[in-house]
Structure 1
Amino acid sequence: MQNESNGLNDIASILSNPILNTDSYKASHYLQYPPEASAMFSYIESRGGRYDRTLFFGLQMLIKEYLCRPVTPAMIGQAKAFFTAHGEPFNEAGWRHVVEQYGGYLPVRIRAVPEGSVVPTHNVLVTVECDDPQVFWLASYLETMLLRVWYPITVATQSWHLRKTIRGYLLKSSDDLAQLPFKLHDFGARGVSSAESAAIGGAAHLVSFMGSDTVLGVVAANHYYNETMAAFSVPAAEHSTITSWGRERETDAFRNMIAQFGKPGAIVSVVSDSYDLFAALRVWGTELKQAVLDSGGMLVIRPDSGDPRTIVLQTMRALEASFGSAVNGKGRRVLNNVRVIQGDGVNPDSIEAILAALDQAGFAADNIVFGMGGALLQQINRDTQRFAMKCSAIRLGDEWHDVLKDPITDTAKRSMKGRLTLLVNRHTGEYRTTTLPVAWNAHMVEGDWEEALVTVFDSGKLLVDVSLAEIRRRAHAHEA
C-alpha cells in the first residue's frame, strides 16, 4: 500500500514525472558541487561522426512534451519514495523550492539554433542555464532528457544527406525535380524500439521527405510542429494480402489490387516476390498489362528479396520490356505506367549503389522510389554523430568560471569551456562557436557576425513554436 500511495505502481505517472526522467546518479549531484556554486551553464554539441554537418531538429518536441508542465507535490513525493528505496539521496528542499517559487516550472533558460538549421559539427547547438542558487544544478540534471535530442537530429541529418544524394541523381537524369520529397519513404515503424521512437524519428525524417508509413511519426509532426498533414502514403500490398490467395491464385491477388485501387492518377504498390519475382513480372507484363493501362493509375512493383542493386536493375529491365519507356530531356529512359519501389536492404550505401547502377544502365532516377526501415530509424545511436552535453561554466559566488574536461586518453572528448554561443555570418552563412561577452544580449552583432542561438524556453514557457513548413524551408533553402 505504501508504494501505491506514492504512485510507484502507476507507470504512466512515473514516465511523465520530470524528476524521474534522469539518470540515477544525478540525484546525488547536488551534494557534489562546490558549496559556493550559484549558477550553471551547459551545452550540447555533435563532436563529429558519420556526417560533417547536422540538421537541427526535435528540441521543440521534447520541450512541449516534458518541460511545459509543472512539477507537483505529488511528483516530489513519488520521486522521494523512489530514490530513497533506490539508494540515492533526494533533494526534496530543492524540488519544493521549484514548486513554491516557480509554480513547479523549472527555472532554466534554453537557447538553441533554429530548427532546420544545418550546422557543421563541433559547434554548440543548445545551451542550458540556471542561475537560481538553490537549484542551479538543474542545468545538468536535465541532461538525460535533453540529450535525447541526438535521436531526431541524427535521423533528420541522415535523411537530409540522403535527399542530397537522390537530388544529385535527379538533377543528372530527370526532368522532374518536384518528385524529390517522395523518393524516400519511411518504412521504419516496426523496426524501432518503442512507439515514442517511431513518433520522434518518424517526424524527423519528414523535414526532408513527405512520404511515410510511420503513422505515429506523421501524427507527431502534425501535433508538435503545427501541420495539417505532414506526409502521405498510398495503398500497398503486403505479403499476407497476396499469399492469403494461395500460390495458384497470385494473379488474382494482383488483379484485385488493380481493381480496388487502380484509378486515374492513383498510385498502387504491389509486392511481387512472394514466390517467383520473375514469373510475377511476366504476369504483370502480359496477362495483367491491359488492366494496368486501362486503370489510368501508376503501378509500383516492390521486389522484396535478393541483392538490392541486382534485383532492382533486373526488375526495371523486365518492366521496360513489357511496358516500354520514353527518353526524357536528359537522355535517360523513363518507364511507361510502372515504377519500382525498393524496400529491402535499403541504407545509405545501397541507395547510392542502386542509383549509380540505374544511371549507368541509362535509366532515369524517376523510375525508383526507396522505402527505408531499420536503417532509417533504428540503425543509428548517440555515437553516430558523437553527441554530448557538458557543463562548460559554473558561477561560484558572483563570478563565472570556465569548466571543461580534457582527458589525455581521448583528446576527441575534450569539451568546450565558458558560457558559449553560436554566431552566424550574415553574408556567408558560416557558423562559429564563441564565448559570451560579459555584456551579452540576445541580439549581439559583431561585424558580419550575429547571434544564431535564440531563447526557446524560459521557466516553463515555450518562446518559439515553429512550424514544420518553416523548418523545411530553412533546411533546404540552399539546395544546389
Structure 2
Amino acid sequence: MQNAINGLNDIVSFLSNPILNTDSYKASHYLQYPPEASAMFSYIESRGGRYDRTLFFGLQMLIKEYLCRPVTPAMIEQAKAFFIAHGEPFNEAGWRYIVEQCGGYLPVQIRAVPEGSVVPTHNVLVTVECDDPQVFWLASYLETMLMRVWYPITVATQSWHLRKTIRAYLQKSSDDLSQLPFKLHDFGARGVSSAESAAIGGAAHLVSFMGSDTVFGVVAANHYYNETMAAFSVPAAEHSTITAWGREREADAFRNMIARFSKPGAIVSVVSDSYDLFAALEAWGTQLKQAVLDSGGTLVIRPDSGDPRTIVLHTLRALDASFGSVVNSKGRRVLNNVRVIQGDGVNPDSIEAILAAMDEAGYATDNIVFGMGGALLQQINRDTQCFAMKCSAIRLGDEWHDVHKTPVTDTAKRSKKGRLTLLQNRRTGEYRTVTLPLVWDERTVEGEWDEALVTVFDSGRLLTDVSLAEIRSRAHAGET
C-alpha cells in the first residue's frame, strides 16, 4: 500500500492512469445504480451557445492518448490507495474484472460523427455504450475524460466560423482565395493553461488554417492525425530582439531582420511599435525602403499596440504612401512588397471590425494577416457551446429503459432520452437525432437517410484513424 501511495507522487503515472481520469464522486456511483442494471448508454451534445453549428474534432486525440492502453494491476493499486485516502469507495472487483477478463481494455463502444463534420447544435455528436453487466457503469465513469472533447470542438468551431468571415471579405475584395488558410495565425501557446491545452487547441485550429506558432499544436496534429507537417511559420521579430539594440539603433535592428531573413519569395515579420510606431513606419518607407525592395522578400509589419482598427488603417495608409499599391479587379488596393499582421486585441469582433474598415477604405484583405492568442485558445469554456454528456438509457435486466432529466428550473438543461443515433439526409444534408431502433414513418423516406455516427472505438481498439487532410476536406466541402 505504501508503494502505491508513493506512486501518487509520480505525476506521469498519475495522469496516465484511466481509473483516476475522472471526478472523485464517480468512484462511488457503481453502488448507486439499481441492482438489476446491466448496461448503460450515454451521449454528448452541444445544447446551443455562441454558434449554431459545431465542427466536430478532437475525439481521435483523446482515444489514442487515454483509451488505447490497457489498465494494469499497478494502476488499480495506485487508484485504490488514492480513493481510500481521499474518502471515496473503490470498485476493486470491477477494475480487476477489466484486467483479468478484458485484458485491461475497457469494454465500451464509442460512436461519433466523423471528425470535420459541421453539425447543428442540439444533436448527438458522440454516444458511449457499455453492455457488460459487470462494468456497465463505465459509460458514465468516462464522462470526465470524454467531455473534454468540448475544448477541441469549440476551438475548431470558432476557427471555422472565423474562416467564413475572412473568406467572405476575401471574396469581396481579393483576386486570390488561395491565401485563406494563412490568414489567421495561432499566437495562443503562451496564453493557455497548460502544454496539453496548447497541443489540443492548437491542433483544432489547424482544421481551418495552416499558420501557427504553437509548436505543440502542430506536433499534435502531425502525431494524432497522420500529417507530415500540419502548419507553417516564418521568421519574426519580438520586442526583445528589437529593443536589445537600443532605441537609437532601432533602424539597425530592422535592417538586420531584412539582411538575415528576407530573400526572394520569403516572408519576414517585424514588430515595429517598440518605441514609436509612426517613426518606425517612416523609417521603413525611407531609409530602409531600398533594402526591402532589393531583398525580393515580403515585409510584414506588426503594429502591436493601440486601437486595432485605427492602427491597422494608419499602418496600411503609411505603407501605401511609401511602397505604393496596385488596384485589383475588385477595385481594392493591394500593397507592393509589404503586408500587415495584427496580433494585438484580436478576437472575432475585432477581426470583423478591421476587415470592414479596410474594405470601406478601399484596401483588399490580401494586405492583412491576423495573429490570435488568448481569444483563440483560452477565452472559451464548456459553456461557450453548452456541452453536456448525459446518460439517456439504462438496461435493467434484459430490458432497456429511457433515462432523462427535465429540471423545471432550467428547461435548457433538459436531456435526451433513449438509445440515440444521428441521421443525415443524403439529399439535403440535414441532420436529425433519433432513437434506436430506427422506425421510419410516412414523413421520412428511409432511402434518403444514412446513419451519420460511425463506431470509432470498441473495447480498446481504435476503429477509425482519419488524417487531418480528410478532416479539412470534410469541414470545408461546402466552400465554393
Q: TM-score, normalised by structure 1?
A: 0.98
SS at match of 1:301: strand
Contact between 1:341 and 1:368, CA under 8 Å: does it hold in 2? yes
Look up the match of 1:261. Answer: 261
Are the aligned partners of 1:113 and 1:125 in contact in 2 as well (CA < 8 Å)?
A: yes
Partner residue in 1 for 2:242: 242
The secondary structure found in structure 2 opposite 1:241 is helix
Question: Any residues of structure 2 matched to 1:217-296 within 5 Å, and which?
Answer: 217-296=217-296
Equivalent positions of 1:89-168 (< 5 A) are 89-168=89-168
Q: CA RMSD of the aligned region, Å?
A: 1.3
Contact 1:267 1:298 in 2 (8 A): yes
1:324 aligns with 2:343: no
Q: Secondary structure at the match of 2:455?
A: strand
Alpha carbons 1:206, 1:231 under 8 Å: kept? yes
Which ranges in structure 1 are unaligned for 5 or more consecutive residues? none
Number of the residue aligned with 1:450: 450
Instruction: Assess if the C-alpha contact under 8 Å between 1:6 and 1:77 holds in 2.
Output: no
Instruction: Return the letter of the residue paired with 1:215.
Output: V
Q: What CA distance in whole angstroms lies between the structure 2 residues aligned with 1:305 and 1:9? A: 44
Aligned residues: 477
1:346 is matched with 346
Asked if 2 retains the 8 angstrom alpha-carbon contact of 1:4 and 1:10, the reply is: no
Q: Residue 447 of structure 1 aligns to a residue in which SS?
A: helix
Structure 1 SS opposite 2:107: coil
**Following the alignment from structure 2 to structure 1, what is the Cα–Cα distance between the partners of residues 406 and 276?**
59
In 1, Cα distance between equivalents of 2:4 and 2:136: 32
Dislocated runs of 4+, deviation >6 Å: none
* Superposed counterparts of 1:60-99, under 5 Å: 60-99=60-99
CA distance in 2, matches of 1:298, 1:383: 41
2:468: which partner in 1? 468
Q: Give the whole-Å Cα distance in 2 for the aligned partners of 1:221 and 1:112.
A: 19
SS in 1 for 2:421: strand
1:421 is displaced (CA, Å) by 0.1
Conserved in 1, the CA contact under 8 Å of 2:347 and 2:372? Answer: yes
Q: Is the 8 A contact 2:4 2:81 kept in 1?
A: no
SS at match of 1:237: coil
How far apart are residue 4 of structure 1 and its match?
Answer: 5.4
> In the alignment, what sits opposite 2:420?
420
Cα shift at 1:174: 0.0
Deviation string 1:148-196 (CA, Å, 9 cap, x unpaired) is 0000000000000000000000000000000000000000000000000
How far apart are the structure 2 equivalents of 1:479 and 1:97?
Answer: 50
Shift of 1:5: 6.0
Q: What percent identity do the matched residue pairs reach?
A: 90
Cα 1:99–1:6 change in 2 (3 A) is: farther
- The answer to whether the Cα contact below 8 Å between 2:5 and 2:81 also exists between their aligned partners in 1 is no
Unaligned segments of structure 2, at least 5 residues: none
Q: Is the 8 A contact 1:323 1:336 kept in 2?
A: yes
The separation in 1 between residues aligned to 2:262 and 2:214, in whole angstroms, is 23
Partner SS for 1:251: helix
Work out the CA distance in 2 between the residues paired with 1:149 and 1:197.
Answer: 11
Equivalent AA in structure 2 for residue 16 of structure 1 = S
Question: Does the residue aligned with 2:19 lie in a helix, a strand or coil?
Answer: helix
DSSP-derived class of the 1:226 partner? coil
**SS state of the match for residue 233, structure 1?**
coil
TM superposition shift of 1:447: 2.7
User: Over residues 343-382 of structure 1, what are the superposed CA-to-partner deviations in whole Å (9 max), with x where a residue is unaligned?
Assistant: 0000000000000000000000000000000000000000
The offset of 1:3, in angstroms, is 4.9
Task: Note the C-alpha offset of 1:446.
Answer: 2.3
Q: What's the CA shift for 1:2?
A: 1.2
The corresponding residue for 1:397 is 397
C-alpha displacement of 1:238: 0.1
TM-score, normalised to structure 2's length? 0.98
Deviation of the 1:98 alpha carbon: 0.3
